[in-house]
Amino acid sequence: DIQMTQSPSLLSASVGDRVTLSCKASQNIYKYLNWYQQKLGEAPKLLIYYTNSLQTGIPSRFSGSGSGTDYTLTISSLQPEDVATYFCQQYNSWPDTFGAGTKLELK
Amino acid sequence: QVQLKESGPGLVQPSQTLSLTCTVSGLSLTSNSVSWIRQPPGKGLEWMGVIWSNGGTDYNSAIKSRLSISRDTSKSQVFLKMNSLQTEDTAMYFCARKRVTTEGILDYFDYWGQGVMVTVSS
């Protein structure tokens, strides 16, 4: 199975900060990567699909990039409602696998 | 609008079988695929398996020998059965629509249920 490693595991940032979350795959996943946001006690929500496509209804401050094994989720200006855990997921190889998540908190 | 809702027992004894139901509205199961995904407390997500729109199934090899996914299209329900439960199977269990485009370029989980917490304990 492809291993997905997210860093950092915990990130503290201030409102208005530009925030970058990292996801690294154990092998080339050819941009077949999605990002999800999970708020406490809720189901995950799809944010970004196929590396950089914004899901309908998601604010434009969220963006994704990357290629090969290295991928990034960026929040251009952190808002209080962005406090959550963020997961990456690859679908290049069976089975789909998720990273362990980055927990984003306010400083 | 699209809704998925999981239901099932909150407590299962070790070695017993877990049975969960995902009731879907706003989607036809004959043209949509549904996956089960679980999340142990405080941990990450594990994809368990999928029932495709054509009724075929695929499972995570790590749990394939214990898992079965089926459906009743007339009731818009998807079922999960997993046997020989152990304490490490304690988790929140989610069902989610797995959208896959024909060429496979796009493949994601865009609609999720709220999840059902299952505790394995005697």
In sequence order, what are the beta bridge partners of A12?
A105
* Alpha carbons A45 and A59: distance in angstroms, whole number: 13
Largest alpha-carbon pair distance within chain B?
Answer: 47
Mean pLDDT computed over A22-45: 96
Please state the three-class secondary structure of chain B as a single string.
CCEEEEECCCEECCCCCEEEEEEEECCCCCCCEEEEEEECCCCCCEEEEEECCCCCEEECCCCHHHEEEEEECCCCEEEEEECCCCHHHCEEEEEEEEEECCCCCCEEEEEECCCEEEEECC
Looking at beta carbons, which residues of chain A come within 8 Å of B108?
34, 46, 49-50, 89, 91
Alpha-carbon dihedral of residues A21, B110, B46, A39, nearest 10 degrees? 50
Q: What pLDDT does residue B88 have?
A: 96
Contact B45 A45 (CB under 8 A): no
**Do the Cβ atoms of A71 and A23 come closer than 8 Å?**
yes
Average pLDDT of the residues of chain A: 97
Percent of chain A with pLDDT over 90: 98
Q: What is the model's pLDDT at position B1? A: 93
State the CB neighbour count (10 A cutoff) for residue B10. Answer: 8
**If pLDDT is split at 50, 70 and 90, which confidence band does A37 have?**
very high
pLDDT for the residue B67 = 97
Can you give the pLDDT at residue B105?
86
Identify the segments of chain B with pLDDT beneath 50.
none
- The distance from CA A100 to its chain's CA centroid, rounded to whole angstroms, is 11
Please list every residue in chain A whose beta carbon sits closer than 8 Å to the beta carbon of residue B60. Answer: 95
Contact B60 A101 (CB under 8 A): no
CA–CA dist B115, B19 (Å, integer): 14
Q: Quick one: pLDDT at residue B104? A: 78
Q: pLDDT tens digits, residue range B53-70?
A: 999 999 999 999 999 999
- Strand partners for B67: B82
Half-sphere exposure of residue A17: CA atoms within 13 angstroms, side-chain side: 15
Nearest chain A CA: its distance from B90 CA (Å) = 16
- What are A47-94's pLDDT values in tens digits? 999 999 999 999 999 999 999 999 999 999 999 999 999 999 999 998
Residue with tokens 């990039």: A65
